[in-house]
Chain A
Amino acid sequence: MELGLDNSKLQLQPQNLKQEQKLLQQQEQHFHVLAVDDSVIDRKLLERLFRGSSCKVTCVDSGDKALKYLGLNNIDEQLDNNFSSTKSILESSSPDSPPLTPNPLQLKEGISKVNLIMTDYCMPGMSGYDLLKRVKGSYWKDVPVVIMSSENVPSRISMCLEEGAEEFLLKPLQLSDLQKLQPYFLKSLDNSSDEQESANSSTSTTDFDDDDLIDNNNSISKRKAMSPESLEISRPKMKGLARGIKSSCILLISLIMIMFLIMVFS
């Protein structure tokens, strides 16, 4: 009997793996990267790196164009309008306040969801840091933003990570850097699988999260510049850690409930 159970478990595992691989491939094919860099050479490199992983890549040469693509370019005008209308509303003491972030419906038609933003730090006009701030204060705040720079400046790195950048990579980018971004491909897969699958599969997604955490911790390596306040690097990882802990808690609670039920009915 035990052997039978084991065999059925073994049969399920490869099927689960195949399903996950298939989902990963499908997800990667739809994984949309917005690459922002003023250098035509670096844009070409980024495009090749991500297209090679079956991702969709959109390249723009400035922060302004990136905001335009994300539907955030009129945000200043909106803010001005909102502030003036908010002011008049407050004066008439109404409880309602107009939204300050663009309604998703207001976004241009035909723009597919962006899953990752790769931006150069040093650009004429709007810097990568300014773009990061704007993105993190908008509808797109949950999209991971990765900053790239040819200069290893610890204060710059800390500043970007504190503002919510997921990673800070040194240029020129290499294939090994792409591997470091795998967790973000998987996270987006994780999010879609959470919506589609039941609690039984939460074990597999938890494993993904745990692996992501291990990979993220190991990825603080030579290629990623070390900052004196290296503890700050772990701060953005806390979101992933919290998610992992949450999934583990749910699993633990379900196990305890099952044991309780077994005890009650035995």
Chain B
Amino acid sequence: MDGKVQLQKQLFDYTASLFQEGFLDNQFNQLEQLQDESNPDFVVEVVTLFFDDAERILNELTTSLGQEKIDFKRLDAHVHQLKGSSSSIGAQRVHEACIPFRNFCTEQNVEGCLKSLQQVKHEYSLVKSKLETLFKMEEELLASSLADLKVV
């Protein structure tokens, strides 16, 4: 039982830190509220969709910026997509990193775009690893709860 309580506390503290450090915002709370008995894996499902979508977009952005003639309109459209999807799951830092990126696209500033892409990639990899850690902790807690039930 102590192990479970400790896990609960760890999970609580970790989640709180993600909000405090700005990795997650209120929209993530909204996702958690939408998770219930009928939709027990809703958060993981949506976040997984985000990971797949974000990686696809980041690859496209890398390819686009590597070309001789850069299509800034197309670039901006992709950044807009990423900005939207990160906002929808509450990945605040990724969302914020997309804002200057869009400005550089409008200005057709290649160097600015390249720097922004690096920043977005950095924020994305951070939030991805944080969320994966969070989900792992939740799994451990669930496993511990099930183990308790079996003992009883």
Chain A interfacial positions (CB closer than 8 Å to B): 38-42, 44-45, 48-49, 52, 122, 124, 150, 171-172, 174-175
Contact = CB atoms under 8 A, between A and B. Distances in A.
Interface stretch (B63-71, B78-86, B113-121): B78-86
B49 A40 contact: yes
Contacts of A172: 27, 30, 87-88
Given A44-B45, A150-B84, A172-B88, 4 more contacts: A39-B81, A39-B85, A48-B39, A150-B87
Contacts of B77: 124
A171 B39 CA distance: 22
A42 B30 contact: no
A48 B39 CA distance: 9
Interface of B is mostly: helix
Contact of B88 (A45, A124, A175): A45
Nearest to A174: B30
B46 A44 contact: yes
Contact of A44 (B49, B80, B81, B83): B49
Nearest to B36: A52
Q: How large is the interface on B (under 10, 10 to 19, 20 to 34, 35 or more residues)?
A: 20 to 34
Interface in B41-65: 42, 45-46, 49-50, 53
A40 B53 contact: yes
A49 B34 contact: yes
Nearest to B25: A172
B33 interface: yes
A48 B43 CA distance: 11
Contact of B85 (A42, A48, A124, A174): A42
B27 A175 contact: no
B53 A41 contact: yes
B18 to A, nearest CB: 18
